[in-house]
Amino acid sequence: MRQRGRKSAARLSVVSIGIDAHRPEPPTHLTKPQAIIWRAIVADLPGGWITGAQEYLLAAYCRHVDTGDWLSKQIDGLDFKAVDLPRLSRLLGMRVRETGAMMSLATKMRLTQQARMHPRTAGRATSDENGGRKLWERRPWESD
């Protein structure tokens, strides 16, 4: 339970130490590129974020990211002056499906910024980065 009222100086001087919880290793059935993607995602998340039940979702996500990268390389390697339009259409359609699957899994596992940050906090962070004068400080006849 939280303490009611103001916190004492002694309580404020105590630094809590976060102990890293379990960070799962990639399953052995993933390829090397997929395992690299797995490790990058797990390293970016707080310890214990991925539970045993979610490991299957994360493995599927890593496969979709790897396949999406492969499809993008195939599309980027095409000569657009002499491209086979039906092949290009199929490749683009496959990439769209892979991207949709990636987005769905990322949302389900709360990997996206939208799922991890309150909208007001995101808005404040964005406005702080823009710099310059605030909207109410600007005059319409002046240019920035």
Whether the CB-CB separation of 20 and 2 falls below 8 Å is answered with no
Q: Is residue 108 part of a domain?
A: yes
> In which residue are the tokens 């890293």 written?
20
Q: Is residue 35 part of a domain?
A: no
Number of domains in the chain: 1
**pLDDT score at 21:** 73
Q: Name the pLDDT band for 42 (thresholds 50, 70, 90).
A: very high
Q: Is residue 7 part of a domain?
A: no
Q: How far apart are CA 43 and CA 35, in angstroms?
A: 12
Q: Name the pLDDT band for 41 (thresholds 50, 70, 90).
A: very high
Dihedrals phi, psi of 31, to nearest 5 degrees: -75, 170
pLDDT digits (tens, 9 = 90+) for 13-37: 766 655 557 889 999 999 999 999 9
Indicate whether this model's pTM tops 0.85. no
Q: Note down the domain range covering 59.
A: 51-116
Whether the CB-CB separation of 62 and 26 falls below 8 Å is answered with yes
Q: How far apart are CA 2 and CA 7, in angstroms?
A: 10
Q: Is residue 56 part of a domain?
A: yes
Q: Is residue 104 part of a domain?
A: yes
